[in-house]
Amino acid sequence: MTRFLFAAVAAAAVLAGCQGTPAAENAAAPVAARTAPSGLDLVRLTVEGRGRRHDFIVEVARTEPQQAQGLMHRRALAADAGMLFPFDPPRPAAFWMRNTLIPLDMIFIRPDGTIARIAANTVPMSEELVGVEEPVTAVLELRGGRAAELGIQAGDRVSWDD
């Protein structure tokens, strides 16, 4: 009970300290890093092309272990969610679907931000490699069929805050 009371008092103090702060001061304050339940960073990612734009909030798999895990064992993926696999330096990339339970769209992104290829509705649990031979700076994975639903095509531009 004491921990709960302390937490409640601390939360009230924080909230009270936030009241009355001018909006301009809030806008200038640094934004805390957003983290997914998986522990990965979350970033806003935008796909633009042919007069349309769509925003996603995606997890970023930065390290080799994070990239190896990817979206394995996930049972669902929200419509505006995904996972980004950045590469530095850019390189050819190939993925498989081992232990991935849901179909995914794999979007291969060139260093200039344009989409090189979309591998749509990849087959869950497959060990067949899906990739590109040209160097890419990142791969974006979305829920299977989502790229087609939104009209995302090769040549569209992808950008993200990082």
pLDDT tens readout for residues 68-82: 999 999 999 999 999
Per-residue pLDDT for 105 more than 80?
Answer: yes
Domain that holds residue 61: 31-160
Residue 19 belongs to a domain: no
Per-residue pLDDT for 23 more than 60?
Answer: no
Residue 25 belongs to a domain: no
Q: Give the other-Cβ count within 10 Å of 69's Cβ.
A: 15
- The domain that holds 50 is classified in CATH as 2.60.120.1140
Higher pLDDT, 16 or 82: 82
Per-residue pLDDT for 16 more than 80?
Answer: no
Q: Mean pLDDT over residues 39-61, rounded?
A: 97
Total domains in the fold of the chain: 1
Residue 59 belongs to a domain: yes
Assess contact for 147 and 105: CB atoms under 8 A: yes
Tell me the two tokens of residue 156. Answer: 């569209």
Per-residue pLDDT for 9 more than 80?
Answer: no
Residue 73 belongs to a domain: yes
Higher pLDDT, 33 or 121: 121
Residue 39 belongs to a domain: yes
Of 76, 79, 84, the residue nearest 41 (C-alpha): 84
Q: What percent of the chain has pLDDT over 90?
A: 78
Residue 128 belongs to a domain: yes
